Amino acid sequence: MIASRKLTVQIHVESQLGKGTSFTLTFSLPVVEAPSLKHEPNVPEASSPASSNDLTILVVDDVQTNCMVAEIILKKLGHNSLSVNTGKDAIRLLSTRDDIDLVLMDLQMPEVDGYETTRILRESGFNKPIIALSANAQKDVDQACYQAGMSGYVAKPISVKDLSAVLADIDLDNPTQATA
């Protein structure tokens, strides 16, 4: 892992008597390589017969860091991925492309959340697996996901082991059948 080689910090202070003081900190960091993921035991590698290799997976999450983490894990598992940051963008993209094999869908997004995005996709005829992503790991969330038409659920933070297990359980021929 490469740490920061050069950190530049600028501090700007404005003060007015009787009104207060404003501090502005500006950090400039160089681009660094992403850390490699440590091998987790009992996780099927990309060449393992237990995993469906070479899927094209759409990651839908309004937090870019979450998209990046998911894409790193998917690459480690041997899959291709792309990402969008809104439910509306997912609906638009999936209406024009048929090469997406599976969707990882964040539940809490602005404007159109993951539940509504899934309902709209299912109503429009999209019949491929949609896996929910959420930091809220309560039982009622699981049920709401399945009722919206999702095929599975992965809790955040996403781990290689958990995502691999859910992907291995998905029936690509019957994607709307829920897997627990």
Which tokens in the block code for residue 126?
Answer: 């999209």
Looking at residue 105, its pLDDT comes to 95
Q: How far apart are the first and last CA of the chain?
A: 36
Looking at residue 53, its pLDDT comes to 64
Task: Dihedral sign for Cα 98, 61, 133, 144, please.
Answer: negative
Amino acid in the structure at residue 113: D
CATH class given for the domain over 56-169: alpha beta
Looking at residue 50, its pLDDT comes to 37
Over the stretch 167-179, which tens digit does the pLDDT of each residue have? 888 877 765 554 4
Over the stretch 36-89, which tens digit does the pLDDT of each residue have? 544 444 444 443 333 456 899 999 999 999 999 999 999 999 999 999 999 999
Does the pLDDT at position 23 exceed 80?
Answer: no
Looking at residue 140, its pLDDT comes to 75
